[in-house]
Structures are given as C-alpha cells and as structure tokens.
C-alpha cells in the first residue's frame, strides 16, 4: 500500500466517484463532483495569474510599456457593463475577431490544400490499387450526399447519395466504437491506479 | 412488457457495473495478450529512427489527466525511442495546462529505462537519470497558453513565446539544450511530435508550426480520434500516426519495456467483445420495439 498522501487522496476520491453506481444521488459523489469543479476553477485562476499576468506585470515593471496595450484591450471588454462606455467593449472585441479572421485565413488553407491534394489517387498503372478505387468512389459519393441544391430524386444522385450516406455511417460507426473503447481506457486507468499505484495489489 | 422493452429500459448503471466487473477482473487477474505490430505503428518507430541522430525533437503533450491511460504510454515509448536514437527532447504545449507535467514524468521514466538507472531529483531542474540530464538531453518549457497563435509564435519566436522560462520558472538561456533555440522549425528541430486529444492538437500544430516551419509531424492520438486523424496520415500531412494505448502497447512489447499501454490490452479485448454484444442488443431492442412505439 502506498505511503504517499497524494495517492491516498486520489484513491479515495476515485472510490467516492464510484458511489454513483450504488446511489444516483450519493452525497459523497456530489461532494467530490463539486470539489473537482472548485479545484479546477481555483487552479485555472492561479495558473492564469502565474503564467500570464505575473510575467507581463514584471515586464511592464522592467520598462516594457508596450505590454500595457493588451491589458487595456482586455479591460475594455468590461466597459460593456456601463451603457455610456459599452462601445469600448465592441472595439476590443472587433480587434480580437479581426485578428482571429486574419490568422485563420493565413494559416488554415495549407491544411485544407493538403487534404485536397491527398484526395487525388492513383487509379491506374503503378500505384493504382483497389483501395484507391474504393476511396475515390466513396469520396465522390460522400460529396454527392451534401448536394442539397439539386433534384435528389434523380436516380443517379439518389443512389450515389445513399452510398455516400453509408460511407459516412461507417466512419461514424468506427468513431463511436473507438469512443467507447476510449471510455474503457479511462476506467482502466483509474482501476489500475487503485490496485497498482495505491493499494499495490498488482 | 416483453424482454425487448425491459432491455430497452435497463438502468444504465447495470451496463457500468458489467464494465467495471470486466475491468476489475482484467486488472486483478491479467492474462497476457499479444499485441502484434501493425505497419502504421511501425511507421511511428521508423519516423523517430529516421530523424538525424543528435538532433532535437519537439514534443507537444496536448492532453490532460483524463487521457493519461492512453497518452502517457505513448509519450514514454516515443521518448524511449528518441533517447535510444540520441535525440534531444524539448517539451511544450499551448492548450492543456497539465500536459507538460504529465509528459515530464514519462520522459523521466523513459530516461531511467534507457540508462537503466533511477532518476535522482525527479520533477526538478536537477533531474539526472544515468547519463541523461535535464537541460542537456531534455528541457520542458511547460504550458504556454494561447492555442494556435502561441504555436505559431513558438515557430518563429521561441524565446518570446515561451517568455524565456521553462516549466520550473528557470531561464531557458541557462540550459545548453535550449539557450540557442529561436524557433520550432527545421533550423533548430528535426521533428515535431504532438499528443492529441482534440483541439488544439495535431491539426493546429500542423497549420502553425509543421507547415510554416517545414517540420515533419508525427501524431499520437487517443483511440477516439483515430478515424479523424487517419485522413491526415493518409494524405501524407502526418509522417507518423500512433493510435491509442494499443499503438503504445505494441511498441512497449517490441522494446521489451512493458507499461500501462500493454497492461490495458486485455481490458481493450474484453471491451471490444462487450461493444459487439451491446450493438447487437441495441439493434435487437430497436427493431423489436420500433413498431410498438409508432403505434
């Protein structure tokens, strides 16, 4: 059995969370739930202070006055709580939205273009394969599924769209199965912690 | 109420109870499950072994404690491979506050495994594991909040983006490994490995550092993200893709370094069986009760 107090706290809190299996309105479960939320907020505030505010204030103190600008922009958001000055809040929000739009336009197209070029497959000759044909046809069918501005009762569109729907469902099914497996991994991690790290049973 | 209706109204806690029995049994009475090496996982090994010896690898552990059963083993095996290959590791992330802390423990465990010696002063800037030393063989710049823009800033202005201090608050200029690094790009690094649980993750690092910095990107993901990221791997945007604890488990087996990845494979096997049974049961309930609901 571990002698580390951290292991004891983590182990007992893990057991407390499992009391939900016995009683849906378990007081112990609710206590731990709120403890978690409270700790997360406290940690987040402390982290933001240590990681952001303290270094920036230090830099301003050292004479780097340009760091005052983002602080003022941030504080301007709170001006929306006063009717007379609420336009100032819109200014800083406009700045953030403008920056975000410019940033996305600058850096994300390269990722999409890579996806686009990756969807050009060798179908014949060297490099051609059955897999590439399947990918090519299902890609086209999936795109056709999202054609909403054409007559979808048309025989070709109707059947291709149905094939696309099945392709999408296979993807979603694979993701769903993987999601459940992931939940198992989380539970395994906690059970392994309890029996291995805390209680030293295994 | 017939059997199908009763099954459809089953208290979900029963499902959790069955799941817990399976997981408890596989932890308390483990049986050895072979984890064969698949080409994709072998690709992750080849990716690390293909980087120039002695070069720097940037490791972005974009995950939180909720994902540690899957991604801690991945960080450990990638770090073992990196150290065995003579690479230096620089750890840092932009989206998950506790990622670097989790990764630090795994990198230390990897250093201890590679050298065969326990680490002295673990979790401090004075950590030494045999002939591998913090500041020389690895450095942790910690969590630098800001998601994509911070990643992009790290690519161009590493010292500014990291505020010049590491995970422990010590100046990066004080370590031989980090003092001259000016960007997460091909001038200072040979590879970029990202551990992904969502956003920001591999896609963001691809857009903000790998493409502009001309760095080959390797991506480790939780199993849930596997199908999504497979498209990036298939398109050649990721040079390697490691999926879930299974990927880590296969490398653990190959390296003869058993850990959490390998330990979880028995649970994963029984979980897969239970999922199939649940899917069949769910469909049975749906088709048996569909008409009755409509009526």
- pLDDT, one tens digit per residue, over A108-119 is 899 999 999 988
CB contact under 8 A, A196 and B207: no
Hey, what are B39's tokens?
């080409």
Q: Are residues B198 and B240 in the same domain?
A: yes
Our CA angle for B237, B242, B247, nearest 5°, is: 160
Q: With contacts defined as CB-CB under 8 Å, which chain B residues touch A18?
A: 20
Q: Measure in Å the smallest separation between the Cα of A84 and chain B Cα atoms.
A: 32
Q: With contacts defined as CB-CB under 8 Å, which chain B residues touch A67?
A: none
Question: Residue A156 burial (CB < 10 Å; 0-12/13-18/19+)?
Answer: exposed
* Helix or strand (DSSP H, E) at B114: helix B99-115
- pLDDT given for residue B67 in this prediction: 93
Q: Which residue has the tokens 């005052």?
A: A68
Q: Which of A188, A193, A199 to mutate to test the interface with B (most CBs of B within 10 A)?
A: A188
Q: Are residues B253 and B280 in the same domain?
A: no
- pLDDT given for residue A121 in this prediction: 84
Judged by a CB distance cut-off of 8 A, whether residue A9 touches chain B is: no
**B-contacting residues of A 20-39, CB under 8 Å?**
20-21, 24
Question: Residue A101 burial (CB < 10 Å; 0-12/13-18/19+)?
Answer: exposed
- pLDDT given for residue A53 in this prediction: 84
- pLDDT given for residue A130 in this prediction: 92
Average pLDDT for residues B40-48, to the nearest whole number? Answer: 97
C-alpha of B52 from chain center: 22
d(C-alpha B56, C-alpha A27), whole Å: 50
Average pLDDT for residues B107-131, to the nearest whole number? Answer: 97
Q: Using CA coordinates, name the residue in chain B closest to A183.
A: B224
End-to-end CA distance of chain A: 11
The angle that helices B12-28 and B265-294 make with each other, rounded to 10 degrees, is 170
- pLDDT given for residue B275 in this prediction: 83
pLDDT of B293 > 80? The answer is no
Q: Are residues B58 and B190 in the same domain?
A: yes
- pLDDT given for residue B163 in this prediction: 85
End-to-end CA distance of chain B: 15
Q: Which of B217, B223, B243, B275 to mutate to test the interface with A (most CBs of A within 10 A)?
A: B223
Q: Which residue has the tokens 């990918």?
A: A135
- pLDDT given for residue A168 in this prediction: 95
- pLDDT given for residue B266 in this prediction: 83
d(C-alpha A113, C-alpha B199), whole Å: 20
| H helices present in chain A, as ranges | 5-18, 27-48, 54-61, 68-76, 86-107, 109-118, 130-145, 155-192
Q: Domain of residue B10: give its range.
A: 3-30+268-294
Q: Are residues B259 and B272 in the same domain?
A: no
Q: Are residues B10 and B116 in the same domain?
A: no
Considering A62-66, A130-134, B182-186, B196-200, the range whose residues carry the highest mean pLDDT is B182-186
* Peptide bond between residue B200 and the one before it cis (omega within 30 degrees of 0): yes
B8, B11, B13, B14 alpha-carbon torsion, rounded to 10°: -70
Q: What is the pLDDT of residues A156-190, one digit of tens each?
A: 899 999 999 999 999 998 898 889 889 888 899 99
Question: Residue B140 burial (CB < 10 Å; 0-12/13-18/19+)?
Answer: buried
Q: Are residues B98 and B234 in the same domain?
A: yes
Q: Are residues B237 and B220 in the same domain?
A: yes
DSSP-derived 3-state class of residue B84:
helix
Q: Measure in Å the smallest separation between the Cα of A63 and chain B Cα atoms.
A: 16
pLDDT of A198 > 60? The answer is yes
Judged by a CB distance cut-off of 8 A, whether residue A107 touches chain B is: yes
Q: Are residues B122 and B12 in the same domain?
A: no
Question: Residue A14 burial (CB < 10 Å; 0-12/13-18/19+)?
Answer: middle
The interface pTM score, or ipTM, of the predicted complex is: 0.84
CB contact under 8 A, A48 and B145: yes
Length in residues, chain B:
295
CB contact under 8 A, B68 and A189: yes
- pLDDT given for residue B291 in this prediction: 61
At a CB cut-off of 8 Å and minimum separation 6, what does B102 contact?
B61, B63, B65, B68, B71, B72, B75
Our CA angle for B151, B152, B155, nearest 5°, is: 90
- pLDDT given for residue A151 in this prediction: 86
Q: Are residues B149 and B276 in the same domain?
A: no
CB contact under 8 A, A184 and B30: no
Q: What is the pLDDT of residues B179-237, one digit of tens each?
A: 999 999 999 999 999 999 999 999 999 999 999 999 999 999 999 999 999 999 999 99
Q: Are residues B240 and B272 in the same domain?
A: no
Q: Measure in Å the smallest separation between the Cα of B86 and chain A Cα atoms.
A: 31
Judged by a CB distance cut-off of 8 A, whether residue A112 touches chain B is: no
Q: Are residues B179 and B216 in the same domain?
A: yes
Average pLDDT, chain A: 91
Share of chain B above pLDDT 70, in %: 98
Judged by a CB distance cut-off of 8 A, whether residue A81 touches chain B is: no
DSSP-derived 3-state class of residue B124:
coil
- pTM here? 0.90
Judged by a CB distance cut-off of 8 A, whether residue A131 touches chain B is: no
Considering only A139-143, B153-157, B267-271, which range has the smallest mean pLDDT?
B267-271
- pLDDT given for residue B32 in this prediction: 79
Give me the number of domains chain B comprises.
2
Average pLDDT for residues B83-90, to the nearest whole number? Answer: 98
- pLDDT given for residue B292 in this prediction: 63
Q: Are residues B195 and B273 in the same domain?
A: no
């Amino acid at each position: 059995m571990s002698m580390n107090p951290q292991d004891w706290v983590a182990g007992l809190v893990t057991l407390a969370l499992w009391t939900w299996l016995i009683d849906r309105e378990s007081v112990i479960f609710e206590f731990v739930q709120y403890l978690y939320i409270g700790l997360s907020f406290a940690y987040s505030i402390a982290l933001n202070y240590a990681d952001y505010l303290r270094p920036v204030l230090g830099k301003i103190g050292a004479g780097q006055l340009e760091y005052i600008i983002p602080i003022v922009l941030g504080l301007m958001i709170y001006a929306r709580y006063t009717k007379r000055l609420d336009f100032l809040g819109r200014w800083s929000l406009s700045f953030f939205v403008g920056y975000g739009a410019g940033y996305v336009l600058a850096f994300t197209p390269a990722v999409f273009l890579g996806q686009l070029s990756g969807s050009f497959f060798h179908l014949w000759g060297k490099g051609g394969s059955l897999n590439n044909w399947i990918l090519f046809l299902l890609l086209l069918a999936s795109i056709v599924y999202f054609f909403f501005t054409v007559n979808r009762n048309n025989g070709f569109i109707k059947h291709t769209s149905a094939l696309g729907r099945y392709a999408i469902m296979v993807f979603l099914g694979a993701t769903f199965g993987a999601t459940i497996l992931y939940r198992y991994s989380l539970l395994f991690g906690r059970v392994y912690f309890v029996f291995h790290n805390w209680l030293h049973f295994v | 109420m017939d059997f199908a209706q009763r099954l459809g109204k089953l208290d979900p806690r029963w499902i959790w109870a069955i799941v817990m029995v399976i997981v408890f049994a596989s932890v308390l009475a483990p049986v050895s499950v072979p984890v064969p090496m698949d080409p994709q996982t072998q690709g992750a090994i080849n990716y690390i072994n293909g980087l120039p010896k002695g070069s720097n690898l940037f490791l972005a552990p974009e995950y939180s404690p909720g994902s540690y059963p899957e991604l801690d083993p991945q960080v450990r095996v990638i770090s073992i491979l990196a150290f065995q290959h003579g690479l230096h590791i620089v750890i840092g992330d932009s989206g998950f506050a506790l990622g670097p802390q989790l990764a630090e423990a795994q990198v230390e465990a990897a250093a201890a495994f590679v050298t065969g010696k326990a680490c002295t002063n673990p979790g401090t800037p004075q950590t030494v594991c045999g002939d591998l030393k913090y500041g020389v063989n690895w450095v942790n710049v910690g969590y630098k909040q800001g998601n994509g823009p911070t990643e992009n800033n790290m690519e161009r202005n590493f010292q500014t983006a990291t505020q010049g201090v590491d995970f422990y608050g010590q100046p990066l200029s004080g370590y031989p490994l980090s003092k001259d690094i000016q960007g997460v790009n091909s001038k200072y690094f040979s590879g970029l490995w990202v551990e992904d649980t969502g956003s920001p993750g591999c896609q963001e690092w691809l857009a903000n550092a790998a493409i502009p910095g001309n760095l080959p990107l390797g991506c480790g993901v939780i199993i849930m993200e596997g199908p999504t990221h497979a498209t990036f791997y298939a398109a050649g945007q990721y040079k390697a893709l490691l999926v879930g604890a299974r990927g880590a488990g296969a490398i653990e087996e190959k390296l003869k370094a058993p850990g959490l990845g390998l330990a979880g494979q028995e649970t994963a096997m029984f979980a897969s069986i239970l999922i199939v049974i649940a899917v069949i049961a769910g469909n049975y309930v749906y088709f048996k009760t569909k008409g009755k609901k409509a009526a």
